[in-house]
């Protein structure tokens, strides 16, 4: 991945493959007449801090949906990086490798905007980008929200027996009130912001230092139940899509 120019821009990459199993055609599902893909693209297009919006997909139908809402789709994603087990690092690496062959340039930053987290507003997106640009010593920024219960209160099941996630805790200790534990946070899919140098160097996706950008609690759609909750919330909240 040589012979390219680094430009001080933010490019959005919306990942939307076909083949979802729990919710068929998930990325094309509509809420208030807009597909999840369309919502992600429109949100990025409205941002004052995003220079270009790209769609990464293996589907002609999803590609056409992206083009309808003015996303750039210069190529289809490979089968290798369109599996259930495909990771974000490989998806972005493929995108950068292929786009630099076409344009001979790549942005300093990639914002990864998943369609499956549709409760997203442009103001928060711009705030996160500005925050990351002003940070020093960080490789990435990931949105998180506080978990309803601390991770210390979670369990594994091993050989039909309940076991605390933390081996240092007994079952009774793990069952203590949540106020007894530190707050825990979960990545929520709202957005990831990364420095592309991490990807092209072949190191990793988030780097060593990742800044936690705290947002309101949001839904990351994985199945029909999640989708119905998202529909309910969006119908009752004024979201600047």
pLDDT at 238 over 70: no
| Residue 164 is assigned to a structural domain of this protein | no
What pLDDT score was predicted for residue 204? 81
pLDDT at 84 over 90: no
| Residue 171 is assigned to a structural domain of this protein | no
Give residue 120's domain range: 5-141+187-205+219-236
Tens digit of each residue's pLDDT (9 = 90 or more) over 85-106: 889 999 999 999 999 999 989 9
Q: Which residue has the tokens 């076991």?
A: 163
User: For the domain that residue 15 is a member of, what is the CATH number?
Assistant: 3.90.550.10
Lowest mean pLDDT among 27-31, 70-74, 236-240: 236-240
| Residue 176 is assigned to a structural domain of this protein | no
- DSSP calls for 111-155: EE--TT-----HHHHHHHHHHHHH-SS-SEEEEEEE-SS-GGG-E
| Residue 156 is assigned to a structural domain of this protein | no
Q: Which residue has the tokens 């994603």?
A: 77
Token pair listed for 135? 């940070």
Token pair listed for 151? 């991770």
| Residue 137 is assigned to a structural domain of this protein | yes
pLDDT at 241 over 80: no
What pLDDT score was predicted for residue 239? 59
CB 62 within 8 A of CB 48: no
| Residue 67 is assigned to a structural domain of this protein | yes
> How confident is the prediction for the chain on average, in pLDDT?
93
pLDDT at 240 over 70: no
Distance CA 123, CA 190 (A): 12
Q: pLDDT-derived band of residue 202, with 50, 70 and 90 as boundaries?
A: confident
Q: The whole model's pTM is what?
A: 0.92
Counting the structural domains of the chain, the total is 1
| Residue 115 is assigned to a structural domain of this protein | yes
Tens digit of each residue's pLDDT (9 = 90 or more) over 116-139: 999 999 999 999 999 999 999 999
Q: Which residue has the tokens 């590609």?
A: 63
């Amino acid at each position: 991945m040589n012979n390219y120019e680094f430009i001080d821009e933010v490019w959005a990459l919306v990942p939307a493959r076909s083949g979802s199993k729990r919710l068929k055609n998930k990325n094309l599902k509509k809420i208030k007449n807009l597909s999840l893909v369309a919502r992600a693209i429109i949100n990025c297009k409205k941002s004052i801090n995003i220079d270009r919006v790209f769609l990464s997909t293996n589907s002609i139908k999803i590609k056409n949906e992206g083009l309808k809402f003015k996303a750039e789709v210069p190529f289809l994603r490979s089968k290798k990086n369109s599996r259930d087990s495909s990771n974000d690092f490989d998806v972005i690496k493929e995108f950068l490798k292929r786009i630099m062959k076409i344009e001979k340039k790549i942005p300093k930053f990639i914002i990864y905007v998943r369609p499956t987290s549709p409760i997203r507003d442009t103001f928060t997106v711009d705030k996160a980008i500005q925050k990351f640009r002003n940070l020093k010593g960080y490789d990435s920024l990931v949105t998180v929200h506080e978990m309803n219960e601390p991770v210390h209160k979670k369990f594994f099941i091993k050989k039909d027996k309940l076991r605390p996630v933390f081996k240092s805790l007994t079952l009774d200790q793990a069952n203590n009130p949540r106020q007894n534990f530190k707050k825990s946070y979960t990545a929520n899919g709202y957005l990831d912001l990364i420095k592309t140098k991490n990807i092209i160097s072949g190191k990793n996706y988030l780097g060593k230092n990742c800044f936690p950008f705290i947002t309101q609690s949001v839904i990351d759609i994985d199945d029909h139940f999640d989708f119905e909750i998202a529909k309910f919330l969006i119908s009752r909240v004024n979201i600047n899509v």
